[in-house]
Chain A
Amino acid sequence: MALLEIQDLHASVDGHEILKGVNLTVNAGEVHSIMGPNGSGKSTLAAVLARRETYEVTGGRVLLDGKDLLEMKPEDAAREGVFLAFQYPVEIPGIGNAYFLRSALNAIRKHRGEDELDAMDFLPVYKEHMKLLEMDDKLMNRSVNEGFSGGEKKRNEILQMAVLQPKLAILDETDSGLDIDALRIVAQGVNAMRSPDRSFLVITHYQRLLDYIATDFVHVLVDGKIVRSGGPELALELEDKGYGSAEADAQAALSA
């Protein structure tokens, strides 16, 4: 069954239409990559799926596990299993990393009817994941993302994802600003989480992330629409020819 079904999705920001009819179906266990030039609507798509309220949905439907995602508030979407790894993770002074993540996990567990975890139960899990992501223990009690390097922020996103165990993980340009070592660690974190009941939407500008994360499908988003879809080979082709060709091909296909 499709985990995520996007049908003719239109969305705008401040009255400007950014998404102009996106269609996409993601089955459980699949990894889909969305590629496209800057300004094509990739991050808008991610934000709409995470239910950011500053993005206005003007048309279409999105079903998550058969439920209407567009009816959900951000916290409801998160509790139903949507996770967005931010392109620019937000700094939140005064709120400890571990405290924040435990609150989030407990909100989700409560929603699922599971017992909440106290600090004693939570910390070993948290520390274990930190180790896997080669993160410094000291970051645990620091404020959320405050004073973190770019790489630390991105790893922190993956850490949160690993602890929260979402059904649908959306990675919004997680590779941007990462050096090759950090990229490898982040990709390992993602790969370790692949499972038959978890899907990924990997949004990226560059093909290089896909050297590390094996993708099942690649979609090209141009000007608010998916203009081409294919297998992993499409990413390599884009790397060679650039987005211009994908767009031109699509135009040609339309006018043919």
Chain B
Amino acid sequence: MATVTGKPNRYLEAYGELIAERRERDPVWLRQLREDAWTRFHAKGFPTTHDEDWRFTNLAAMEKIPFKRAVKGSVAVSANEIEAFRVPGAACQLVFVNGYFAPELSELGRLPKGLEICSLVGAIDCGMVGIAPEGCASDGIEQHLGRYADVRRDVFTALNSALWEDGAYVRIRRGANLSQPIHLLYVSAGAGAEIMTHPRTLIVAEPTCRAAVIEDYVSLGSEAAFSNAVTELVAGQDAVVSHYLVERENLAAFNVSTLRLEMARGANVSSHSILLGGGLVRNNVHPVLSGDGAECLINGLFVGAGSQHLDNYMLVEHAQPQCSSRQFYNGILDGSARGVFHGRIVVHKDAQKTDAKQTNRNLLLSDNARIDTKPQLEIYADDVKCTHGATIGQIEEEQLFYLRSRGIDEVSARNTLLYAFAAECLDRMQEPAAREFAEGLIRERISELARNRKAVAPAAPVEEEVQRWEEVR
């Protein structure tokens, strides 16, 4: 077994500090979770490109930077600075700065009925001393936290489980129907320092509730930061839940996020990932359809330019019969950006009548951009329908000419076509406020791409490289 390579001591240091700080406060079960996770991380270390699941993503650059834990309250962030990141129409907003809950920046007034939301560590601390202030409910945490995200499967999950400082705890009560999205804002603000954070989010959606949560990563300043987030979302029977991941950090940021979805019978969960920023991003989405008739939508868009590296790792597990999953990921890559789409579908022995579909479409805007797309089907049941397909192409000259022949200039025409491709993901978003928010971000990012291209002379037409496959089993 490998040991932690690079500079293991910083992580060990961080772990030692954290354990000391939390000694009096973490309940026994949580201490045990951290310890197991740490042991796992320490034994395995970060993956290399020899690891099949990390074949296309090299972490050497990340390991070189001496990221440190932030000291709580060491960087002052004003409400003004946060204002630009608010989501219009959100029910509430929880703000975390460098991993710590910032109540003074959060907006939690007038919570809708049936929603309980607070900082995870706050809830645990309240539970420990036995006084639960309003909105601070610790019950349910022990039952769910760390029960789904698997520290053995993934070292980043292990690292997060050992080192998490805080995050959001969201509980939506049985039958509650929340029409407005919940906004969780994670801000990296190094103020000169290279900060690491391990945000941990737990979302418990009780049976038959309806809700949407936006998990949003942003930077203040241009320092490199390392965010290693884990979110567990538990959807009870017939719950309808949408999760939005928005990555819009600066280009020096390293962001690894893992979304683990646990779905009960009849639950309907959507995961929307919108990756626009970050230097190196790894987006893990891991739904387990563990109740009959559960439905899962995995919808994503990644837009990269410059030397951005955006890696999407989907692992969809069908554990019970009659479930359906749909994956749609679109990628746009310019400059020397690199994208990865790894779509793994596992259909377990009992999961008869599974209906799983996966589509990954990519536009490469420059000769140096690159996409690696890899479907992986593992089917252990015999009565299932699984299809997957991927395309890689460029903006179609025909469409471009059609628009231009009507008087639309080339930059606008490109912009329009790119936006139309990017906006396909918007049609799959059901919550108007979240959708509008996403639409604004995507529009801005696409115009930015088009503006940047303006300076570059149009590339000579390149032989279109298209790869298509469709497979039915």
Contact = CB atoms under 8 A, between A and B. Distances in A.
Interface in A48-79: 50-54, 73-75, 77-79
A103 B408 contact: yes
A74 B401 contact: yes
Contacts of B397: 54
Contacts of B407: 75, 78-79, 104-105, 107-108, 111, 164
B115 interface: no
What's the dominant secondary structure at chain B's contact region? helix
A182 B421 CA distance: 32
B378 interface: no
B402 interface: yes
B424 A94 contact: yes
Most B C-beta atoms less than 10 A away, residue of A73, A74, A105: A74
Interface stretch (A84-92, A129-137, A173-181): A84-92
B402 A90 contact: yes
B405 A74 contact: yes
B447 to A, nearest CB: 14
Given A73-B410, A90-B399, A94-B421, A103 B404 contact: no
Contacts of B410: 73, 75
A93 B420 contact: yes
Contacts of B408: 75, 103-104, 107
B406 interface: yes
Contact of B404 (A73, A101, A108): A73
B405 A50 contact: yes
Contact of B412 (A73, A89, A103): A103
B420 A107 contact: no
Interface in B401-427: 401-410, 412-413, 416-417, 419-421, 423-424
A100 interface: yes
A89 to B, nearest CB: 8
Nearest to A143: B420
Contact of B401 (A52, A101, A143): A52
- Assign chain A's interface to a size class: 20 to 34
B39 to A, nearest CB: 49
Contacts of A44: none
A74 B404 contact: yes
A86 B420 contact: no
A94 B404 contact: no
A95 interface: yes
B464 interface: no
Most A C-beta atoms less than 10 A away, residue of B405, B413, B423: B405
B417 A92 contact: yes
B398 interface: yes
A94 B406 contact: no
A199 interface: no
25 contacts: A51-B405, A52-B401, A52-B405, A54-B461, A73-B404, A74-B401, A74-B404, A75-B404, A75-B405, A75-B407, A75-B408, A75-B409, A78-B407, A90-B399, A90-B402, A93-B424, A94-B419, A95-B416, A101-B406, A104-B403, A107-B407, A108-B407, A111-B407, A164-B406, A164-B407
User: What 9 pairs between A and B have smallest CB-CB spacing?
Assistant: A94-B420, A104-B406, A78-B407, A74-B404, A90-B402, A107-B407, A108-B407, A75-B404, A104-B407
Given A92-B417, A160-B406, 12 more contacts: A54-B461, A73-B404, A74-B401, A75-B405, A75-B407, A78-B407, A89-B402, A90-B402, A92-B420, A100-B403, A100-B406, A101-B406
Interface of A: 50-54, 73-75, 77-79, 83-84, 86, 89-90, 92-95, 100-101, 103-105, 107-108, 111, 143-144, 160, 164
